[in-house]
Amino acid sequence: MSLTQEIKDFALDLGYHDVGVTTADAFPWYAEELQSRYSSYNYLIESPLKPLEGTNPKGVMPEAKSIICTVYDYSREGFPAELVGTIGRLYQSRSYNQSSSRINGARRQLFIDYLQKRGMQTMYGPEFNVPERLASARAGVTTYGRNNFAYAKGPGSFIILMAFTVDAELEYGSPTIEAPCPKDCRLCVDACPTGALEPFRLEPKKCIAYNTFMTQDNFRPHTSSHIPPEIRVEMGSWIHGCDLCQEACPRNRTRLKVMEAWPASSFLNRIAEQFDLRKVLLLTDEYFETVLRPVMYNYIRHKRYFQRNAAIALGNSGDRSHVPYLAQALEHSDPLVRGYAAWGLGRLGGQDARTALEKARPVETDEKASQEIEAALAIAA
């Protein structure tokens, strides 16, 4: 058996859905695209993830010969109805960038250990970030969708890609750099509430997913905690991620039906039973650690961003029974939470919301929170 086949068999035995191999040649198109869209991707380009380095593997490791691309299918379980529409399925699956002390991180670590034991010098993320969608299409294991997601046969776009650059010469797959979307289909583009999508082009800063977790002060270069009001309105009930352009896609239809039919794990059902946006808003340390962190550990480290997102989601709910909770959050010690609670109250409107905002107006000491209160009073009907 060839080394390539042994590596593939090992990856499949670990539970990856598919694995392919491509050369370690550069990805000049991706480097040009990133640089030409600097204002959209500055938060990434200047981050420790160094995506431009990843476009030229041999620039970092001159001995690099091959990129091994694994495809993990995270749609192997059902997802509770209470969480769908609020937390992206990817995050519910706890399979994205897991630590190696958990099963999904241990799988990646076992694969790295295997490659290294076979004598291969190996580079991988997050220290070294190859453009994984391009690499896996070049390796022949995924295709593209016009929504910019990678698709694999079976799980559709409900996959996680990982790339491992090694110094071994391996057997390379035939590229599948194509998008087998139905002619003229634009369902994903039309489903995007913020206009973040054009075919094969995403404006990340308009994307709901970006706004739920990248908008943190000093999280990445050029990021801040501010979410533009026009995006807040379109965030609906999402507090971490957004699945709308994947749900709209006919190429995902079969897998979505399967996921809906499968029962959720008892782990996710436990989270779902305890999940309550009002508790996310008035977040205690214990609720943060036991209900939020187990599934949303990837990006947000501080409670305040979940509280902000919950204030937006409650404001978008149209349910004025949430007013007392937002009014309570208007007295929170963190001005970010107060400001977004004000926005939520303004969005819900009604006499009780106005009363809470008018009570907070003269005692608010933070400039940004004061601005949010004024803007909320202007829209609260």
Residues in contact with ligand SF4 by CB under 6 A are: 145-147, 181-182, 185-188, 191-192, 194, 196-197, 202, 207-209, 242, 244-245, 248-251
How far apart (Å, rounded) are the C-alpha atoms in residues 350 and 240? Answer: 28
Q: Which is nearer to ligand SF4, 132 or 364 (CB)?
A: 132
Q: Are 345 and 357 contacting, i.e. CB atoms less than 8 angstroms apart?
A: yes
Q: Which is nearer to ligand SF4, 52 or 187 (CB)?
A: 187
CA of residue 222 relative to chain centroid, distance: 18
**Residues 324, 296, 187, 34, CA torsion sign:** positive
Of the candidates 236, 211, 240, 231, the one whose C-alpha atom is nearest the C-alpha of residue 223 is 211
10 Å CB burial of residue 381 (0-12, 13-18, 19+) is: exposed
Q: Which is nearer to ligand SF4, 17 or 251 (CB)?
A: 251
Q: Which is nearer to ligand SF4, 31 or 185 (CB)?
A: 185
How far apart (Å, rounded) are the C-alpha atoms in residues 300 and 48? Answer: 17
- Please, what is the minimum distance in Å from the beta carbon of residue 196 to ligand SF4? 4
- Please, what is the minimum distance in Å from the beta carbon of residue 64 to ligand SF4? 31
Q: Which is nearer to ligand SF4, 170 or 208 (CB)?
A: 208
Q: Are 189 and 147 contacting, i.e. CB atoms less than 8 angstroms apart?
A: yes
Triad 44, 49, 54: Cα angle to 5°? 100
Q: Which is nearer to ligand SF4, 190 or 331 (CB)?
A: 190
Q: Give the 3-state secondary structure of residue 193.
A: coil
CA of residue 305 relative to chain centroid, distance: 15
- Please, what is the minimum distance in Å from the beta carbon of residue 361 to ligand SF4? 33
How far apart (Å, rounded) are the C-alpha atoms in residues 310 and 329? Answer: 11
Which residues lie closer than 8 Å to 104 by C-beta, 6 or more apart? 72, 93, 94, 95, 96, 98
Q: Which is nearer to ligand SF4, 95 or 246 (CB)?
A: 246
- Please, what is the minimum distance in Å from the beta carbon of residue 174 to ligand SF4? 22
The dihedral over CA atoms of 302, 307, 313, 315, expressed in degrees to the nearest 10, equals: -150
- Please, what is the minimum distance in Å from the beta carbon of residue 210 to ligand SF4? 7
- Please, what is the minimum distance in Å from the beta carbon of residue 323 to ligand SF4? 27
- Please, what is the minimum distance in Å from the beta carbon of residue 72 to ligand SF4? 19
Q: Which is nearer to ligand SF4, 11 or 71 (CB)?
A: 71
Residue 20: both structure tokens together? 């392919």
- Please, what is the minimum distance in Å from the beta carbon of residue 182 to ligand SF4? 6
